Structure 1
Amino acid sequence: MSKPHAIRTELDGLLDGLVEGDPFPPERELATRFGVARETVRQALHELLVEGRIERRGRGTVVSTPKLVQPLSLKSYTEGALRMGRKPGRLLVTWEDVAASADLAEALGIAEGDAAMHLERVLLADGQKIGLESTYLPVARFGGFRETFDPTTSLYAAVRATGVHFGSAVERIETVLAAPREAALLESTTAMPMLRLHRRSLDIEGGPIEVVRALYRGDRVAFEASLTDRD
């Protein structure tokens, strides 16, 4: 067994005996305990950080809160967080009307140059920053949100309250690195892998509702889907 693999196995064993919030031994102590170079330990600790099993708090390292698991479905982030017993929250970053580009206009079913509402928010779970969501909606359809919508609450609930029902969506997820602005908003680094989600949602009659680009911290969020064999 290689040294990096052996150290990782030892660290996994240590984690099995700890619970959320427990302090994790520092790099120097682990290197001495296992008789290996600090670089070997540093590599294993970085893997655990990326996987979201440990996290930095102040000058130390502790066992992380389990990842928030979001279902791949037409449910809001709020519903996914509540399902796991987590407290959802949002911080407003940007709320503005923009002239739709050709691609955005086609996706929203409006004319190029027409107004699209752009809503950018940081997503929270138990006060912890886990994602950055950028949503575009046609102003002609949802312009009333300026007077009625609280951006710290669920957008999907607000859409449904207007009598619009989500019918379908096309969603794509890929792994990326955050830009400096995105990393700063999520209190992360540009070296931390992120999950980028693209979604276009339609109502039950096939009319466009939204276009979403969301970035989730890979160490704090995972996605799951329920699959069936229809053959």
Structure 2
Amino acid sequence: MSKPYLIRTSLEELLGDLVEGDPFPPERELAARFGVARETVRQALHELLVEGRIERRGRGTVVAKSKLTQPLSLRSYTEGALRMGRKPGRILVSWDDVAAPADLAAALSVADGAPVMRLERILLADGQRIGLENTHLPLHRFGGFRETFDPTTSLYAAIRATGVEFGSATERIETVLASPREAGLLESTTAMPMLRLHRRSLDTDGTPIEVVHALYRGDRVAFEATLTDGD
């Protein structure tokens, strides 16, 4: 077996004896323990970091929390976090009205250039930054949120409180790298793999509710779906 594989296996075994928050041995110590070059250890540590098994904390490294698993469903991020016993939170980045370009206008069934509400928020789980969410809503339908909605709370709960019910949604997820701005907001780096989610939600009458573009840290979030036989 190759040395990188053996080192990775040894680090996996080491992780099995530790719990969340425990300090993880530094690169120099691991290289001396296993008698390999620091570059070999560095690569294995980088893989564990990308996978969300360990995380940097200050000048050291600790065992990370398990990833927040989000359901691919019409449930909100808040519901997914609470289901895993995590405390959801949000930080408002921007909230403004913009003229909808042609593709967004078509997705929201409004006229080209019509004003739409754009809400950008950082998503938190137990205080950790896990995602950056950009939501577009038809202004003629949800303009009243300016006076009633607290952007640090659940948007889906606020939408449902108006009497609107979610009927269906189309989602696409792809792997991307963050821009410098996105990485900064997520307290990450441009080298960390991210998961970008695109969602268009409709109400029970088939009328568009929202278009969402969200970026999630690949080391802190995973998605799951429940599948059934369609026959």
* Same fold by TM-score greater than 0.5: yes
Tell me how far 1:229 sits from its aligned partner: 1.7
The residue number in structure 1 matching 2:44 is: 44
Tell me which amino acid in the other structure corresponds to 1:21: G
Question: What SS is found at the alignment partner of 1:172?
Answer: strand
The residue number in structure 2 matching 1:21 is: 21
Tell me how far 1:54 sits from its aligned partner: 0.1
Question: What SS is found at the alignment partner of 1:112?
Answer: coil
1:6 aligns with 2:6: yes
Alignment of 1:1-231 (within 5 A): 1-231=1-231
C-alpha distance in structure 2 between counterparts of 1:60 and 1:36, whole Å: 21
Question: What SS is found at the alignment partner of 2:181?
Answer: helix
C-alpha distance in structure 1 between counterparts of 2:17 and 2:196, whole Å: 33
Q: CA RMSD in A?
A: 0.4
C-alpha distance in structure 1 between counterparts of 2:104 and 2:128, whole Å: 31
Structure 1, gaps ≥5 residues long: none
Question: What SS is found at the alignment partner of 2:206?
Answer: coil
Tell me which amino acid in the other structure corresponds to 1:10: S
Q: Structure 1 residue runs of 4+, over 4 Å off? A: none
Structure 2, gaps ≥5 residues long: none
C-alpha distance in structure 2 between counterparts of 1:70 and 1:146, whole Å: 28
Tell me how far 1:228 sits from its aligned partner: 1.1
C-alpha distance in structure 1 between counterparts of 2:150 and 2:223, whole Å: 26
Question: What SS is found at the alignment partner of 1:214?
Answer: strand
C-alpha distance in structure 1 between counterparts of 2:43 and 2:228, whole Å: 38
Question: What SS is found at the alignment partner of 2:122?
Answer: strand
- Percent identity of paired positions between Structure 1 and Structure 2: 82
C-alpha distance in structure 1 between counterparts of 2:95 and 2:230, whole Å: 42
C-alpha distance in structure 2 between counterparts of 1:171 and 1:58, whole Å: 36
Question: What SS is found at the alignment partner of 1:89?
Answer: strand
Tell me how far 1:117 sits from its aligned partner: 0.1
Tell me how far 1:230 sits from its aligned partner: 2.4
Tell me how far 1:136 sits from its aligned partner: 0.1
C-alpha distance in structure 2 between counterparts of 1:54 and 1:113, whole Å: 46
Question: What SS is found at the alignment partner of 2:152?
Answer: coil
Q: TM-score, normalised by structure 1?
A: 1.00
Tell me how far 1:134 sits from its aligned partner: 0.2
Tell me how far 1:166 sits from its aligned partner: 0.2
C-alpha distance in structure 2 between counterparts of 1:124 and 1:102, whole Å: 32
C-alpha distance in structure 2 between counterparts of 1:100 and 1:219, whole Å: 33
Q: TM-score, normalised by structure 2?
A: 1.00
